[in-house]
Structure 1
Amino acid sequence: MMNKVISNIRVLSCLIILGWGLIINPDRLVLAEELPQQSVLPLELANKAALAAVKHCKKEGYRVSATVVDGAGVIKALLRADGAGAHTVDSSQRKAYTAASLRESTQKLALLIARKPEIQALRDMNESILILGGGLPIKIEGEVIGGIGVGGAPGAALDENCARAGLEILGADLYQEKN
């Protein structure tokens, strides 16, 4: 019985201390609705996108790797097709990271840098950036929630076509080239 009374007193004391803290410094109170809201890419969908990209390339005769990252560029799914080169893992990961981080197609970025040498430094922003076609941002209703990258097909445009298959399976906004 005494333990229950002591426990109740401790709980009441904590509530009083918290209440005084809010009275003394109400600016410290953060309401849930004031916190940033962010959409996330569920693991199941990330896996579906990566698998769709690898299957599309396989159907075309290419052995590739496909990586899907979240909005922060962290890997959610990575698949390497049977027989795909080891280098394809790194290139797909870096393309996905670049597309999510810079919120743009890696092919468009490569073309932009070719036309405007003054922005060549984009290539060296960090070691994860790879400005080479095959990476697309994953956008749902205009919001970038991740990126998909494909590496291993014989050409950047082919990698990008496989990445596009990953977007299609998600019902994501399809990337349209704008000049």
Structure 2
Amino acid sequence: MKKLPSALLSMSTVALFIVPVAAAQTTPAPIQLATTTTVTPASLSLSAASRIATLAVNNCAQLGYNVSVTVVDRSGVTLAVARAENAGPHTLGASAGKAFTSASARALTSDIAKNLPSNPGLADIPGYLVLAGGAPIRVDGAVVGAVGVGGAPSGLIDEKCGTDAVATVLGK
């Protein structure tokens, strides 16, 4: 049997110790999850969303405008849609776009529109419609959804129909 040079012997000995340690480290230790690992954010109920949508259509109808209203949850997913019988077909997409934009940005779409000249890229975000008429719905300071209204001759009128409906339904 041939004797190994001492340098190789040392490397072999070291390798024997490294392999078991590396193998032991490949098995992950159980993860201890803190109670703050997940969250349960508040979201708007279907019942409230339906009432807001219907009331916003009625608010605009009292002013003589045929609109469509979309109410979304905090993530921008549609919960309720209401449309006046004589609202134009484009008003559905407009109300949905405004609601999605407001929920996503957590802001009035009229404010987003005012800031568009200094940040024109906002108009390029997929799904965004940067026109007045969308408003976040807040409960205890947290955005739980948004309302978008389309069809009145002014986005600010759309916005008022929606925010008045939210105030009525939430008792503000």
Normalising by the smaller structure, the TM-score range is 0.7 to 0.9
User: 1:134-163 CA deviation, whole Å, 9 max, x = no partner?
Assistant: 000111111011110000001111111111
Q: Does 1:108 align with 2:107?
A: no
Compared CA separation, residues 86 and 170, structure 1 to 2 (3 A): same
1:66 corresponds to which residue? Answer: 69
Q: If you compute each CA radius of gyration, which structure gives the higher value, 1 or 2?
A: 2
Q: How does 1:109-124 map to 2 (within 5 A)?
A: 109-114=112-117, 116=118, 119-124=119-124
Contact 1:136 1:147 in 2 (8 A): yes
Compared CA separation, residues 33 and 113, structure 1 to 2 (3 A): closer
Displacement of 1:44: 0.3
**Residues matched between the structures, number:** 145
Contact 1:67 1:96 in 2 (8 A): yes
Task: For 1:46, give the aligned amino acid.
Answer: A
Provide the C-alpha distance between the structure 2 equivalents of 1:38 and 1:103, rounded to a whole number of angstroms. 14
Q: How does 1:80-91 map to 2 (within 5 A)?
A: 80-91=83-94
Displacement of 1:90: 0.2
Question: Percent sequence identity over matched residues?
Answer: 37
Unmatched segments (≥5 aa) in structure 2: 1-27
Match of 2:102 among 99, 102, 121: 99
1:125 corresponds to which residue? Answer: 125
Contact 1:72 1:146 in 2 (8 A): yes
Match of 1:26 among 30, 39, 59: 30
Q: Does 1:78 align with 2:78?
A: no
Q: TM-score, length-normalised on structure 2?
A: 0.79
Task: For 2:152, give the aligned amino acid.
Answer: A
Contact 1:89 1:151 in 2 (8 A): yes
